Structure 1
């Protein structure tokens, strides 16, 4: 396996984690920050834009996941996938927690 294979697996986890809040917000009809909002990542985007952004993240994550031939089990690939998912999740929870606190003040 080459280095880019491992990078792709890591980012598959990150993209799949990132699709969750955007799809959930879009499907619930709620505004939520996206990279397209002003200010970027802080201002709210429409539910439709969140749904589309979440779908794009899902598509990219699914492509990276299926192209990487990830073998289930306790191995380096699964560890990298979970690391990408967890690191993105920790970052998003911290970032959006701060954004929400700032909006409630």
Structure 2
């Protein structure tokens, strides 16, 4: 398997990991940074952004799957790595930059 076959599942992992906080924000009625409306993006904007990320991630997963399904191959690792890399990045950037949370007092 070439590395180019691992790019779509990696990006799918990133997109699906990104969808979770936005969908959670929409459900809880909070604000959260999006590229659509900035740092004070409303729950409705977060719902749209989260849904767009989820749809994009699921589309990439489907497009990169083998015909007939079957067991995962090495693409599962690429998918999980994409989700993990994005999650670690968000935890670290939030801890340092406090984009969506106030700094600890």
Alpha-carbon distance between aligned partners in 1 of 2:52 and 2:5, rounded to the nearest angstrom: 21
- Does residue 6 (structure 1) correspond to residue 6 (structure 2)? The answer is yes
Alignment size in residue pairs: 99
How far residue 2 of structure 1 moved from its aligned partner, in angstroms, is 4.7
2:40 aligned residue: 44
**Runs of 5+ consecutive residues of structure 2 not aligned to the other structure:** none
**More helix per residue:** 1
TM-score by length of 2: 0.81
TM-score by length of 1: 0.81
Give the CA RMSD over aligned residues: 2.0
**Runs of 5+ consecutive residues of structure 1 not aligned to the other structure:** none
Alpha-carbon distance between aligned partners in 2 of 1:72 and 1:34, rounded to the nearest angstrom: 35
